[in-house]
Amino acid sequence: MKIAIVIEFDVLAERRDEFIARLREDARETLADDGCLRMEVLLPQDGGPRVLLSELWRDRQAIDNHRLKPGHSHDWQLPLISGKRVTSCDVLAD
């Protein structure tokens, strides 16, 4: 079953441009991973501090393989955000 992951970041205002550039780069690299079907960086139209990442994966194994990839880390995000919420969803229709 396909899995969607939606991550909502609370980005520090003074670091927003840097965060978006790094997240876009990270998303492009992740799209090369086997089983990553979609990776979208989303900016809410209200212009606030939130940035969202929408991911679509073939299955749980593909996500696990991505997480185990050498050098994989989200530590770069820590000094750029004040919070983060992750929601994993089973995809019933696409």
Whether the per-residue pLDDT at 13 is higher than 70: the answer is yes
Domains in the chain, please, with CATH? 3-90 (3.30.70.100)
pLDDT tens digit sequence for 45-85:
998 899 999 999 999 999 999 999 988 899 999 999 999 99
pLDDT tens digit sequence for 21-41:
999 999 999 999 999 999 999
C-alpha distance from residue 7 to each of 51, 56, 86 (Å): 8, 12, 4
**Going along 20-94, which residue ranges are E strands?**
36-42, 50-57, 81-90
In terms of C-beta density within 10 A (0-12 exposed, 13-18 middle, 19 or more buried), how is residue 8 classed?
middle
